[in-house]
Amino acid sequence: HMGHFYLTSKLMPTILRTPGRPRIVNVTSVAHEWGHIDFENVNSDGMLGYPAAGWLTYGRTKLANIYFTYELHRRLREFGGDGGHVDVNCVHPGIVDTEIPRSLSVNFYPLLKSIGGLITPEEGARGQIDVATGPKYEGISGKYIAEQSGPNNPGGVKGSFAIAKSSRWSYDADVAARLWERSKVMTGAAWDSIGETK
């Protein structure tokens, strides 16, 4: 999350000057559904961090990506002017056949692969590419777009994407705003391009 946050802050002046409707796309995951933000341990240090509870930590980071997406959308619309023409969304690419679980204590990918539960990297990339460049998402902002064949949509078509509901926790605007402020402190990111002071 912190990398997304900092990089976007650095690119924002250029994004705001870009003609048309520039798009920001954050990659998240269905794993956000088991995440929560621990403001006492934002980096997930210690025993309950990545080594012992990797999937929970991964879920936290993916939830943070969604909070960032929703909060950036809100702040851009509040800023108005050039910010009103920037669209920001997040995409769950699907459960993709990659090496993501290679260093986690639990790796259920071989089982998922054996039952046809994974999609190819090419299928997973479709959503990000479509949200970034496709006409279907022109003028759409502040949304969670999800691959449609996962556990929340049995029988869905692999590699197809649609706007979906993220977890109920992800809509907590107070947590999103608090995470934004904590992220500014932790990264030193400046958002003066959208009217914020340090």
* Residues belonging to the active site: 58
Q: What are phi and psi of 88, to 5 degrees?
A: -135, 125
96: alpha, beta or left? (left if phi > 0; alpha if psi -120 to 50): beta
Q: What SS3 state is found at 136? A: helix
- The alpha carbon torsion through 188, 75, 64, 37 (nearest 10 deg) reads 90
- DSSP 8-state class, residue 151: T
Question: How far, in Å, CA of 81 to CA of 2, rounded?
Answer: 26
Quick check: 88 and 23 in contact, CB under 8 A?
Answer: yes
Question: How far, in Å, CA of 145 to CA of 162, rounded?
Answer: 5
Question: How far, in Å, CA of 116 to CA of 150, rounded?
Answer: 11
Residue tagged 């991964």 (tokens):
58
